[in-house]
Chains A and B, each alone.
Chain A
Amino acid sequence: MALLELPAWTALAPALLLALTAMALFIIDSIAPDSRNSGLLAGTTAAGSIVSLGVAVWYLLAGVGTPTVDGGRGVIDVLGNQFVVDQLALFFMVIVAVVTALVAVASYDYMEDHTYQAEYYSLVLLAATGMSFMAAANSLVTIFIALELASLPSYALVSILKDNRGSVEAGLKYFLIGALSSAIFVYGISLVYGATGHLQLENIAAVIEAGEVASDGGHEIADVGGLLGLGILMLIGGFAFKTASVPFHFWAPEAYEGAPAPISAFLSSASKAAGFVIAFRVFTEAFPVAETASAIGVDWALAFIILAIVTMTLGNFAAATQNNVKRMLAYSSIGHAGYALIGLAGISAGGGELVMGAAMMHLFVYGFMNTGAFLFVALAEYWGVGRTFEDYNGLGRRAPVACFALAIFMFSLAGIPPLGGFWSKYFLFTGALEAGLLVVAAALVINSALSLYYYSRLVKAVWIEEPAVERETLSQPVGLYAAIVVAAVMTLALLPLFGPVADTAVDAATAMLA
């Protein structure tokens, strides 16, 4: 393959391609500012993200990130190690690109009559670029920049329905909480820098392992343990915001509910995954478990154990009695953040590849099933059937294909075998047990059982309940249908494909923890 001849910076191609597509949209918009050619705009966006996806998959297959001893091409550093492209980065670039493509295709119908289409699509792509960079960022500076690059377009996207009070209000709330969280995050960065004198992740790790800062007179790390600990905790706060974990989750229910449904899908799947990838990277690379624990006096996994349990419990319990479908999905998305947090909670000095790999698998499966579920809500909004469970009653008769897909998403989200969601949860469960986290594993089981209640409630509504009002035949928007069907097919196809996905995820986790 020609990869070796390419310059190193091309390793970031999946992210760069997304940025490039955003630029292309700007050009299209400046040539024809009044055009509402949504086919062209959505098509360009989808094409750009699919190319990005293709390149990321190609890199994975070509062995980028696979250790050279295993016949791979090793990890590629870019910009003096500010970015790295390894399996972890590529894995999450794939998730981001897939979700972006699905969202773009679905938006073709959803945003049909919208005024600011070019802006919408370019903002989506810019946010996706930020998320893609988050996957590769390898220093606290680049991490922060990428995170803000992902966040700022998101605020605008949530409130893009300018005439809709809910959308605007949600955007503002999202922005305010985001600003607070970013402040905490950047303060955390400064504290970590103050304690260790470095921003680049390996260098931070090197200092912590050495136990002292050598330059500038130097000091023992243990002397500034509290400072470092506070910094780390504040970093956790920043990630918790991005992944919508308790207690930084308050923006999520309202932002997801107020935003256009495809944007809810985008934020709850891609943005969450991007939040997790930096959390994985920072905590596995910069803060090696044992040394950090001896420096700050406490194992940081403890914070994630608490967050995981509280997040999944709060998310699922709050979801259980919602009447509004989109809000139910929003809380369920918080609950799933709790499941994925097990991946960090299970990391210990001895290992944790399995449980972290399981969390990655879960995020991958989640990228399809959760996006699909939100896109179904987008479809319902497109039809204008209403927002509550009762409004969804009897949809199965009018739109069997979409409702069948919905049933797949719901059962997969609930973790019913043999769907993809079951396997990833199962690996999380066994991983948690292996890591000795009995309480976390128990919480996972209890919450999954509870989640079945509200997920099946939705399936029951569309398939079993009688419709409250007689409906005319429902239209079949091509883009939305295509996106939903692809998401459903992928949720199902992940059964046979689960092996390679699981292998890649565990390999990536092993490489990070090595």
Chain B
Amino acid sequence: MEDVFNYAPAIALFPLVAFVVALTFGKYMPKKGALAGIIATGGSLALSVLMLVAVASGEVYHETLYQWAIGDAASEIGADGIEFTFGILIDPLAALMLVIVSLIAFLVHIFSLGYMNAEGETGLPRYYASLGLFTFSMLAFVYADNLLMAFMFFELVGLCSYLLIGFWFRTRSAPSAAKKAFLVTRFGDYFFLLGVVAIAATFGTVAFAGDNSFIAAAESAIDNGDTLFGFGAETWVTITALLVLGGVIGKSAQFPLHTWLPDAMEGPTTVSALIHAATMVAAGVYLVARMFGYYALSPTALAIIAFVGGFTALFAATMGVVKDDIKQVLAYSTISQYGYMMLGLGVGGYVAGVFHLMNHAFFKALLFLGAGAVIVLMHHEQDMWKMGGLKDKAPITYYTFLAGALALAGIIPFSGFWSKDEILYDALIIGLEEPIILAAYAMALLAVFFTGFYTFRMVFLTFHGEPRSEAAEDPHDIGWSIKAPLVVLGVLALVAGIANLAPVAKLAQIDITFLEHWLDGEYGAVEGLTYSAYGELLAYETAYIGGEQLTVLIAAGVSLLLAFSGAGLAWKLYSVPEPVAHKERLGGARQTLESNYYQDEYQVWLAEGVTQPLARAADRFDQTVIDGVVNSVSTASLFSSSRLKRIQTGLVTNYAALLVAGFIGLLLVLGYVGGWFL
């Protein structure tokens, strides 16, 4: 099995080839580059599954492929000198993520045949080239074996996101949304870069795994009580971990850098499904999971992650309830769901966070692709108030979308329930000891209600009731390339929860928590990167309400109850033949919610009211002081040049005199220094 890993680079390289092919020959190919993309992602998927099987058979892969720079700069502690490399790390976490990413990419490529090609879009080679480049970057990010390589591909996926959001660059809104996404995530990545530099400068290594990983170095620094850059080791680890977290918050659209994601819906819906729901946005959370050992060393960083996650989950969910555009609802739900994952990781629920990451990738890709199908059905209408009654006209779309919605709302037995419940359970048992975690738990729990509400509001408005427009009465046809990915993902949304039925395992005392075993390295694992290894690093204490089983039941029961009541309220309000918005019942909150809590407004104010005057002042300084100095240097040079020219008078007698004078001058200087005249 070990030889399989020799093909690991090909997982990322296939889509890279597709990118080149689509870019150069796409125009002349029958499907404008789609086939190249499908074949490449299919190949990546096959190889990823092979990797998964190889890891399941007990192998792991950690290899440096290319070393591109060696520095001998001294680090604060650790080895003298640092190496910057490209390498591959395939452990259970990476193998799982590889399969998720290549599977969704493959399905989205197929879906694009129906969504983009069949709709007669122009610029398809550009579209498929960007998708190929994205898939390449994302896969390479997933199996990067060091932080700097991860950072590079993290940036590259950001670039692809920018290109694809702005795909319809002739409209007014798409380029602006692309720019916003790029700038906001770049703001977070700025801190990430600082974090990379800080970690490299501190520990002299950026490796994720192995004996000389920065995680191991940080652990020993804390054990030794070292002082790093004037801080205690634990404080410094917290600072650097939070710097890296800046990139995570930007990429995974957490508060307060979430504002780009709703706007990113300007891109094609396929792109929203692949990049802005299932994979790229997951890169932030994945990064936390990848270097979880580092965060586990810092209770402060973990608490911040948990609190930001819980807050974002609630905050985004409340905004989702008043949106009219189907993709906007999904965008806010995405933000909210990533909040759950952050909460899960923040409370040390490594397995729960990764579990939800996986389930969410499936059901959110499903929901976005379903929304894409609805948009095709509706002749490119996205306003839910113009839909309705699609249930009978497009049953496959309806039932798969419903599966995704049930998973999103966290209704038993769909996959979303299991993972969300595990997160909430982990948060609860920690929260009983730590008040701040309890607050995060309470917010996330409340968000369950809103999630159920907006999810089913969306389902009822879209599919139930009477058609509310001509398009809804006479939907467009959809082909197999749209239906097939929906069915695959629909099945996954239903059954993926089997991977880790933790509550059942705890109640029935049977050993069916497969994902936990997987991530705990019962098959193959890289030393130090396992659930139990992380568990030893964590400083959390747990408590139960009258025993473990009772706590499990309470946690699951409360969240189910809230989900059902949210869904029930939506059913009562909107599952009627002629639904109305009911927004006036929100009273004063309505305006705040529809304006997204004025997040955009204050960020624009920050840019225009604070940054711009500062930039102007800096510009004025540059224009007057700096340029003034530069200009006066050149004026002075030219002036002295014109004076110096005059020494050359043209009279040879002057030359002889000056020559001798110069010589005597030199003689005097040397003679004085050398003491010749004494």
**Number of A-B pairs, beta carbon distance below 8 Å:** 92
- In the bound complex, residues from chain A placing their C-beta under 8 Å from that of B661 are 247
- In the bound complex, residues from chain B placing their C-beta under 8 Å from that of A296 are 674, 676
CA distance in complex: A71, B670 (Å): 43
Give a binary string over B455-492; 1 marks a CB under 8 Å from any A CB, 0 the rest.
00000000000000000000000000000000000000
Interface pair B671/A229, CB less than 8 Å apart: yes
Q: Is B546 an interface residue (CB 8 A)?
A: no
Q: Is A225 an interface residue (CB 8 A)?
A: yes
Q: Which of B650, B656, B676 contacts A230 (CB 8 A)?
A: B676
Residues of chain A in range 126-181 having any CB-CB distance to chain B below 8 Å = 172-173, 176-177, 180-181
Q: Is A478 an interface residue (CB 8 A)?
A: no
Give a binary string over B660-675; 1 marks a CB under 8 Å from any A CB, 0 the rest.
1111011101110111
- In the bound complex, residues from chain A placing their C-beta under 8 Å from that of B674 are 225-226, 229, 296-298
CA distance in complex: A21, B155 (Å): 67
- In the bound complex, residues from chain B placing their C-beta under 8 Å from that of A173 are 652, 655
Interface pair A250/B658, CB less than 8 Å apart: yes
Which residue of the partner chain A has the closest CB to B659? A247
Interface pair A248/B652, CB less than 8 Å apart: no
Known: A297-B673, A317-B644, A321-B642. A233 touches B655 (CB 8 A): no
User: In angstroms, how far is the closest chain B Cβ from the Cβ of A488?
Assistant: 28
Which residue of the partner chain B has the closest CB to A454? B641
CA distance in complex: A233, B666 (Å): 8
User: In angstroms, how far is the closest chain B Cβ from the Cβ of A155?
Assistant: 13
Interface pair B648/A250, CB less than 8 Å apart: yes
Q: Is B611 an interface residue (CB 8 A)?
A: no
Interface pair A306/B669, CB less than 8 Å apart: yes
CA distance in complex: A43, B3 (Å): 68
User: In angstroms, how far is the closest chain A Cβ from the Cβ of B675?
Assistant: 5
Interface pair B666/A303, CB less than 8 Å apart: yes
Q: Which of B638, B641, B652, B677 contacts A226 (CB 8 A)?
A: B677
- In the bound complex, residues from chain B placing their C-beta under 8 Å from that of A237 are 663
Interface pair A247/B637, CB less than 8 Å apart: no
Q: Is B640 an interface residue (CB 8 A)?
A: yes
Interface pair A251/B655, CB less than 8 Å apart: yes
CA distance in complex: A250, B637 (Å): 21
- In the bound complex, residues from chain B placing their C-beta under 8 Å from that of A303 are 666, 670
Q: Is B616 an interface residue (CB 8 A)?
A: no
Q: Is A322 an interface residue (CB 8 A)?
A: yes
Q: Is A254 an interface residue (CB 8 A)?
A: yes
Q: Is A302 an interface residue (CB 8 A)?
A: yes
Q: Is B170 an interface residue (CB 8 A)?
A: no
CA distance in complex: A302, B671 (Å): 11
- In the bound complex, residues from chain B placing their C-beta under 8 Å from that of A254 are 648, 650
User: In angstroms, how far is the closest chain B Cβ from the Cβ of A115?
Assistant: 27
The count of chain A contact residues (Cβ–Cβ below 8 Å) is 37
Interface pair B637/A450, CB less than 8 Å apart: yes
Known: A254-B650, A317-B644, A321-B645. A177 touches B655 (CB 8 A): yes
Which residue of the partner chain B has the closest CB to A315? B644
User: In angstroms, how far is the closest chain B Cβ from the Cβ of A332?
Assistant: 12
Q: Which of A180, A233, A246 contacts B667 (CB 8 A)?
A: A233
Give a binary string over B615-645; 1 marks a CB under 8 Å from any A CB, 0 the rest.
0000000000000000000100110111011
Interface pair B670/A180, CB less than 8 Å apart: no
User: In angstroms, how far is the closest chain A Cβ from the Cβ of B417?
Assistant: 62
Known: A184-B663, A229-B670, A303-B666. A318 touches B648 (CB 8 A): yes
Q: Which of A298, A319, A320 contacts B670 (CB 8 A)?
A: A298
Q: Is A253 an interface residue (CB 8 A)?
A: yes
CA distance in complex: A184, B662 (Å): 13
Q: Is A314 an interface residue (CB 8 A)?
A: yes
User: In angstroms, how far is the closest chain A Cβ from the Cβ of B46?
Assistant: 45
Known: A176-B652, A237-B663, A303-B666. A318 touches B676 (CB 8 A): no
Which residue of the partner chain B has the closest CB to A173? B652
- In the bound complex, residues from chain B placing their C-beta under 8 Å from that of A248 are 659, 662-663
Residues of chain A in range 196-242 having any CB-CB distance to chain B below 8 Å = 225-226, 229-230, 233, 236-237
User: In angstroms, how far is the closest chain A Cβ from the Cβ of B658?
Assistant: 6
User: In angstroms, how far is the closest chain B Cβ from the Cβ of A295?
Assistant: 10
CA distance in complex: A298, B652 (Å): 33
- In the bound complex, residues from chain A placing their C-beta under 8 Å from that of B650 are 254
User: In angstroms, how far is the closest chain B Cβ from the Cβ of A186?
Assistant: 15
Interface pair A180/B656, CB less than 8 Å apart: yes
CA distance in complex: A184, B650 (Å): 22
Interface pair B641/A318, CB less than 8 Å apart: yes
User: In angstroms, how far is the closest chain A Cβ from the Cβ of B27?
Assistant: 35
CA distance in complex: A248, B664 (Å): 12
Known: A226-B677, A314-B644, A320-B638. A247 touches B658 (CB 8 A): yes
Which residue of the partner chain B has the closest CB to A318? B644
CA distance in complex: A181, B655 (Å): 12
User: In angstroms, how far is the closest chain A Cβ from the Cβ of B646?
Assistant: 9
Interface pair B663/A247, CB less than 8 Å apart: yes
User: In angstroms, how far is the closest chain B Cβ from the Cβ of A267?
Assistant: 17
CA distance in complex: A307, B669 (Å): 12
Interface pair A226/B671, CB less than 8 Å apart: yes
CA distance in complex: A425, B619 (Å): 34
Known: A233-B667, A297-B674, A320-B638. A177 touches B659 (CB 8 A): yes
Interface pair A302/B673, CB less than 8 Å apart: yes
Residues of chain A in range 310-358 having any CB-CB distance to chain B below 8 Å = 314, 317-322
User: In angstroms, how far is the closest chain A Cβ from the Cβ of B632?
Assistant: 14
CA distance in complex: A237, B662 (Å): 10
CA distance in complex: A67, B151 (Å): 53
Q: Which of B642, B652, B662, B675 contacts A246 (CB 8 A)?
A: B662
Residue from B671, B673, B674, B676 whose CB has the most chain A CB atoms within 10 Å: B674
Which residue of the partner chain A has the closest CB to B653? A176
Which residue of the partner chain B has the closest CB to A322? B645
CA distance in complex: A184, B663 (Å): 10
User: In angstroms, how far is the closest chain B Cβ from the Cβ of A408?
Assistant: 25
Which residue of the partner chain A has the closest CB to B660? A180
Known: A226-B677, A254-B650, A298-B674. A321 touches B662 (CB 8 A): no
Residue from A177, A250, A303, A319 whose CB has the most chain B CB atoms within 10 Å: A250
Residue from B658, B662, B667 whose CB has the most chain A CB atoms within 10 Å: B662
CA distance in complex: A250, B659 (Å): 8
Q: Which of B637, B652, B676 contacts A177 (CB 8 A)?
A: B652
- In the bound complex, residues from chain A placing their C-beta under 8 Å from that of B676 are 225-226, 229-230, 296-297
CA distance in complex: A176, B655 (Å): 10
- In the bound complex, residues from chain B placing their C-beta under 8 Å from that of A317 are 637, 640-641, 644
Which residue of the partner chain B has the closest CB to A321? B641
Residues of chain A in range 292-309 having any CB-CB distance to chain B below 8 Å = 296-298, 302-303, 306-307
CA distance in complex: A188, B517 (Å): 91
User: In angstroms, how far is the closest chain B Cβ from the Cβ of A307?
Assistant: 8
Residues of chain A in range 261-305 having any CB-CB distance to chain B below 8 Å = 296-298, 302-303
Which residue of the partner chain A has the closest CB to B677? A226
- In the bound complex, residues from chain A placing their C-beta under 8 Å from that of B673 are 297-298, 302
CA distance in complex: A363, B662 (Å): 25
Residues of chain B in range 383-417 having any CB-CB distance to chain A below 8 Å = none
Interface pair B675/A297, CB less than 8 Å apart: yes
Interface pair A321/B638, CB less than 8 Å apart: yes
Interface pair A176/B644, CB less than 8 Å apart: no
Interface pair A180/B641, CB less than 8 Å apart: no
Instruction: List 3 A-B pairs, minimum CB-CB distance, nearest first.
Output: A247-B662, A298-B674, A226-B676
Interface residues of B (CB under 8 A from A): 634, 637-638, 640-642, 644-645, 647-648, 650, 652, 655-656, 658-663, 665-667, 669-671, 673-677
Would you give 14 A-B contacts (Cβ < 8 Å), ordered by A? A180-B656, A225-B674, A229-B671, A233-B670, A247-B658, A248-B662, A296-B674, A296-B676, A298-B674, A317-B641, A317-B644, A318-B644, A453-B634, A453-B637
Given A173-B655, A320-B637, 6 more contacts at CB 8 Å?
A: A225-B676, A237-B663, A247-B659, A254-B650, A298-B675, A318-B647
Interface residues of A (CB under 8 A from B): 172-173, 176-177, 180-181, 184, 225-226, 229-230, 233, 236-237, 246-248, 250-251, 253-254, 296-298, 302-303, 306-307, 314, 317-322, 450, 453
